[in-house]
């Protein structure tokens, strides 16, 4: 039997089972995922439910982590992909666990690996400027994390198997924090999260959706350090985010 068919069959069985137990959503204590009522006995489960079941089945117990400390404990001293071998620190994420705004980057660089905190090098300082000088917010008011939690050697892009291993943790972070908006930073992070190959130059400036949450792709701060003339595009994207959040756009010069 093809793998896809097996997966769909097991998902369908699982959904039938939890319905029989009187539940109308998948068992997560935060933001239950409501399952549409079937129109027939062979109705396929919604794509979101399939994705969530696949997410939870990859790491049983992940769905029970209902706050960030619990998720961090679950991840532990992770060796689930080969990136663990080169890291100094696992870089989980930082910020307000109830933030309405989340920034997602690609993965830790050397400074982040050394400190165990995302976006603390030169690019991180620029991101902090965007948040504090540009948006008039405090860095501690937002939540910042990456697609992969361990530094890829030589700052290479994370490989497919590494993203697949780490992605459930990012998706769970999103489910726990429940931001109103995610800002995706850079080609890799945005393409990984949205599952597309479209260039960032075409994705940025337009709203997308990740697990029911609005996502605004924009350029990575490291790219802006090399191409400062594109700061105006990022500022335009950030203003769009500010408008969506109903926040006043500071009248002073952009970062």
User: Using CB atoms within 10 A of its CB, is residue 42 exposed (0-12), middle (13-18) or buried (19+)?
Assistant: exposed
Residue with Cβ nearer ligand SF4 (58 or 64)? 58
Applying CB under 6 A, does 171 fall inside the site for ligand SF4? no
Nearest distance from residue 116's CB to ligand SF4, in Å? 12
Q: For strand 181-185 and strand 213-218, is the pairing parallel, antiparallel, or unpaired?
A: parallel
- Provide CB contacts within 8 A for 12, sequence distance 6+: 44, 45
- The window from 18-26, 42-50, 71-79, 247-255 that contacts ligand SF4 (CB under 6 A) reads 71-79
List the alpha helices (DSSP H) in the chain: 3-20, 47-58, 68-75, 110-115, 122-129, 160-177, 187-194, 200-203, 221-226, 231-245
Applying CB under 6 A, does 31 fall inside the site for ligand SF4? no
Applying CB under 6 A, does 75 fall inside the site for ligand SF4? yes
Among 11, 49, 80, 231, which residue sits at the site for ligand SF4 (rule: CB under 6 A)? 80
Applying CB under 6 A, does 165 fall inside the site for ligand SF4? yes
Applying CB under 6 A, does 78 fall inside the site for ligand SF4? yes
Phi, psi of 34 (to 5 degrees): -75, 135
Q: What residues line the site for ligand SF4 (CB under 6 A)?
A: 75, 78-81, 83-84, 90, 148-150, 162, 165-166
């Amino acid at each position: 039997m093809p793998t896809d068919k097996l997966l769909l069959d097991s998902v369908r069985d699982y959904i039938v089972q939890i319905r029989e137990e009187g539940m109308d959503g998948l068992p997560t204590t935060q933001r239950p995922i409501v399952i549409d009522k079937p129109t027939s006995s062979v109705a396929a489960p919604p794509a979101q439910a399939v994705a969530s079941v696949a997410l939870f089945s990859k790491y049983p117990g992940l769905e029970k982590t209902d706050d960030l400390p619990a998720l961090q404990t679950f991840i532990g001293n992770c060796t689930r992909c080969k990136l663990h071998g080169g890291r100094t620190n696992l870089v989980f994420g930082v910020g307000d666990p109830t933030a309405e705004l989340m920034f997602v980057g690609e993965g830790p660089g050397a400074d982040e690996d050394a400190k165990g905190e995302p976006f603390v090098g030169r690019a991180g300082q620029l991101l902090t400027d965007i948040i504090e000088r540009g948006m008039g917010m405090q860095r501690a008011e937002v939540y910042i994390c990456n697609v992969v939690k361990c530094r890829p050697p030589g700052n290479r892009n994370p490989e497919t198997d590494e993203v697949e291993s780490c992605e459930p943790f990012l998706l769970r972070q999103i489910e726990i924090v429940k931001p109103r908006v995610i800002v995706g930073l850079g080609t890799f992070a945005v393409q990984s999260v949205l599952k597309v190959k479209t260039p960032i130059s075409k994705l940025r400036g337009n709203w997308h959706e990740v697990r029911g949450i609005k996502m605004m792709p924009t350029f990575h701060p490291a790219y802006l350090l090399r191409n400062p003339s594109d700061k105006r595009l990022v500022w335009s994207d950030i203003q769009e985010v500010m408008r969506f959040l109903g926040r006043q756009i500071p009248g002073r010069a952009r970062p």
